[in-house]
């Protein structure tokens, strides 16, 4: 079974992944974020021509800015309808953290080479307006799925330490050993960063979906059955009441 992964939270990218052979990922990217509608259609066409039609679509449902997120979700739903295949949504902050956890488990990761014990991953994504989206995730002692502390959050990076108090964390600052940052807004917060590639995100997305297949409770917990966009704030342009 092959999965088509679509993510338009930062630029536009698609990937084709076989859960039985996750090391082999076909990736097509348009990282500059321009002309996302035209670019995404072209990327999907290229991937399908090279790798064949998928049997399931996995799409990021945000949080992300309004326009780019809608492009990805509408494209995924349309393709799912046209191909008559399932479409599953994943939370972008969880996805970033899950990909980061996989990077941390690698033999060449900073945690392994420096003998650190990873405890937390903080996902940080650019929300524009000088704000960031953030989510805090705890690593299990024996691996497995991450546990989110608190809920997804949006606001100025300067308030993140204060907000973390409500996340019930047991570390005294993001620069502490065992706390790792991941996402395209990591430069706004001090701490140890993880380098996650788009292929890592695709593998993490298909792993989340594949591991919870047939487990309705886990799917509800991760909102994997939902393709509703997650903005965390209302769009600039709103209808009059």
Question: Please, are residues 9 and 125 in contact by the beta-carbon 8 Å criterion?
Answer: yes
Quote the pLDDT of residue 241: 47
The Cα 197–Cα 118 span in angstroms is 19
Among 137, 155, 136, 133, which residue's Cα sits nearest to residue 146? 137
Chain-centroid distance, C-alpha 95: 3
Cα–Cα distances in Å, from 197 out to 43, 59, 183, 193?
Answer: 17, 16, 10, 13
Helix 92-104 and helix 198-211: axis angle, to 10°?
100
Sequence-separated (6 or more) residues with CB below 8 Å from residue 240 = none
3-91+198-221 and 93-193 agree in CATH topology? yes
Cα–Cα distance between 26 and 17 in angstroms, integer? 7
Domain boundaries, the chain: 3-91+198-221, 93-193
CATH class entry, domain 3-91+198-221: alpha beta
Per DSSP (E only), the strands in the chain are 3-7, 12-17, 25-30, 56-60, 87-90, 120-128, 131-138, 147-155, 179-182, 192-193
pTM for the full predicted model: 0.87
159-195 burial code (b ≥16 CB/10 A, e <16): ebeeebeebebeeeebeeeebbbbbebbebbeebbbe
d(CA 150, CA 110): 27
Cα–Cα distance, 92 to 98 (Å, whole number): 10
CA atoms of 140 and 158, how far apart (whole Å)? 28
Show pLDDT as tens, one digit a residue, over the chain (241 residues).
Answer: 899 999 998 888 999 998 888 788 999 998 665 666 678 988 999 999 999 999 999 999 999 888 888 889 999 999 999 999 999 999 999 999 999 998 888 766 655 545 567 788 999 999 988 899 999 898 876 555 788 888 888 998 888 777 766 666 655 566 666 788 999 999 888 778 888 999 999 999 998 888 777 777 777 777 777 888 888 765 554 445 4
Residue 68 and residue 170 in contact, taking contact as beta carbons nearer than 8 Å:
no
The rounded distance, in Å, linking the Cα atoms of 100 and 115 is 17
Helices and strands (DSSP H and E) totals, the chain: 7, 10
Whether CATH 3.30.420.200 fits 93-193: yes
> What Å distances lie between residue 28 and 31, 81, 124, 175, 191, CA to CA?
10, 22, 23, 34, 30
> Given the structure tokens 């409500």, which residue do they identify?
166
């Amino acid at each position: 079974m092959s999965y088509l992964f679509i993510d338009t939270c930062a630029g536009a990218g698609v990937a084709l992944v076989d859960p039985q052979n996750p090391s082999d990922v076909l990736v097509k990217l348009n990282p500059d974020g321009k002309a996302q509608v035209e670019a995404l259609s072209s990327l999907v066409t290229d991937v399908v021509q090279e790798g064949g039609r998928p049997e399931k679509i996995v799409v990021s449902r945000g949080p992300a800015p309004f326009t780019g997120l809608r492009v990805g979700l509408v494209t995924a739903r349309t393709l799912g309808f046209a191909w008559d295949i399932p479409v599953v949504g994943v939370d972008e902050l969880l996805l970033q953290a899950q990909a980061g956890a996989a990077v941390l488990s690698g033999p060449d990761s900073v945690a392994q080479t420096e003998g650190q014990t990873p405890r937390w991953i903080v996902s940080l994504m650019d929300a524009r307006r000088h704000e960031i989206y953030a989510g805090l995730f705890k690593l299990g002692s024996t691996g497995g799925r991450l546990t989110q502390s608190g809920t997804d959050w949006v606001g100025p990076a300067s308030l993140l330490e204060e907000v973390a108090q409500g996340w019930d964390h047991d570390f005294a600052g993001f620069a502490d050993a065992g706390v790792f940052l991941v996402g395209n807004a990591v430069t706004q917060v001090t701490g140890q960063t993880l380098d996650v590639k788009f292929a890592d995100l695709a593998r993490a997305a298909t792993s989340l979906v594949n591991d919870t297949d047939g487990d309705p409770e886990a799917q509800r917990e991760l909102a994997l059955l939902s393709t509703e966009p997650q903005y965390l704030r209302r769009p600039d342009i709103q209808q009059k009441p």
